[in-house]
Amino acid sequence: MTTTTYKADYKKAEMKALKLLEMNNSSSLPIKVKSLAEPFSNLRIKTYSWFSKKYNVTFEEIIETFQSDEGCCWYDSYSNKYLILYNEKVENKKRIRWTLAHELGHFMLKHNELSKRSIIARSSLSDDEYDEFESEANVFARSLLAHPAIICQFKSANPHFISDLFHISYEAACNVFMFIQKGYEFGFNYSSNHPFIKFFSNTIHLIKNSWYCLKCNHSFSKKLAHFCPICGSKNIAKHFFSGDGDVKYRSYETDEINRLKKCITCSNEEIVGDYCQICGTYLVNKCTGFSPQNIAEKYTGKWHADFTGSCGALLDANARFCHNCGSTSLFYEADILEDWKKEKEEADELPF
Ligand SMILES: [Zn+2]
Ligand SMILES: [Zn+2]
Ligand SMILES: [Zn+2]
Ligand SMILES: [Zn+2]
């Protein structure tokens, strides 16, 4: 009698990961891995502590039973229910994310059902079979959290970058990075039609155009910028991740021609031309060409004037300064927007 052992199918693992992301409409980074279980009524994710309390067992006993000090996917064939358990005491939170993604892989790829095992463990399977399931679950986890096709969209990607952007451990980031390097050596490339690139296209675009100001902590999206639109500082840098230190400056919605959808001064929402019909305020923010050094003597002349020094850039509705040439913005000169420092102080004082 010949037994055919399971063979890992990496293409399938990738597609199942994409399917799970699509089901959850989850295309921003880093992936919120725990919430991906929500669409499934027969799947729950719990911690080792929860299990320990509920069944009155020690952590050591859990680790021994499930043969893992990190996590497991437990299947009850009688009720057709899945329980993913993870050790929340693992210090590296990024590692926990990988563990959860890996266990979700066992679930999505139906490894328990295929092997007729309540848990996927080395002791209950042949070594070969166990390895096949494990590597398939790992490819699933990698695809789910940090697909190489997405990483290749960033030319400057390195393990630190990968670890920060996708919130995976440095070790895991090194592995993905080496995998990509190997692919390059064999002449492998991802086409722009790759399903993961398509699914994450908005996020990739946003990240590529993202900037951060070291003076006022504003983060913003622009293809090209030389100045911070909030404080006018030149001290801006490419910024890939929204950090905890970001200050959210009030933003105002605009339409496709850069015009406010609602007047900042009087809140009128019936917008017809470029000026508010109720209070006369300007509705389109643009570069004035005026030097920020003269800001104390605000412009009081005609607003219909062609701003001769202007670079012509249309500006974000909350911009006090032109991101392109550093001049003041029309909204700032016209006192529609207040000094950014006031807003930063308010934001800093906000209680949590
Ligand atoms: Zn596993
Ligand atoms: Zn700034
Ligand atoms: Zn108005
Ligand atoms: Zn300008």
146 closest CA partner among 89, 208, 107, 204: 204
- Using the predicted structure, report yes or no on whether residue 225 has a pLDDT greater than 80: yes
DSSP assignment, residue 106?
Answer: H
Provide the pLDDT confidence category of residue 242 given band limits of 50, 70 and 90: low
Give strand ranges (E) for the chain: 43-47, 71-76, 81-86, 210-213, 219-221, 236-238
Distance 326 CA to ligand 4 centre (A): 6
Domain ranges within the chain, ordered by starting residue: 10-195, 210-352
Provide the pLDDT confidence category of residue 1 given band limits of 50, 70 and 90: very low
Q: What is the pLDDT of residue 62?
A: 95
User: Which ligand has the shortest distance to the CA of 104?
Assistant: 1
Distance 196 CA to ligand 1 centre (A): 24
Provide the pLDDT confidence category of residue 5 given band limits of 50, 70 and 90: confident
Q: Tell me: the pLDDT tens digits for 131-188?
A: 999 999 999 999 999 999 999 998 888 999 999 899 999 999 999 999 999 998 998 8
Q: Yes or no: say if 213 and 238 are a contact pair by the CB < 8 Å rule.
A: no
- Using the predicted structure, report yes or no on whether residue 226 has a pLDDT greater than 90: yes
Distance 73 CA to ligand 1 centre (A): 8
Distance 214 CA to ligand 2 centre (A): 7
- Using the predicted structure, report yes or no on whether residue 287 has a pLDDT greater than 60: yes
Distance 322 CA to ligand 1 centre (A): 52
Distance 140 CA to ligand 3 centre (A): 53
SS3 label, residue 345: helix
> If you average pLDDT over residues 205-227, what whole number do you get?
90
User: Which ligand has the shortest distance to the CA of 111?
Assistant: 1
Q: Tell me: the pLDDT tens digits for 82-122?
A: 999 999 999 999 999 999 999 999 999 999 999 999 998 88
DSSP string spanning 276-291?
-TTT--B-B-BB----
Distance 329 CA to ligand 4 centre (A): 8
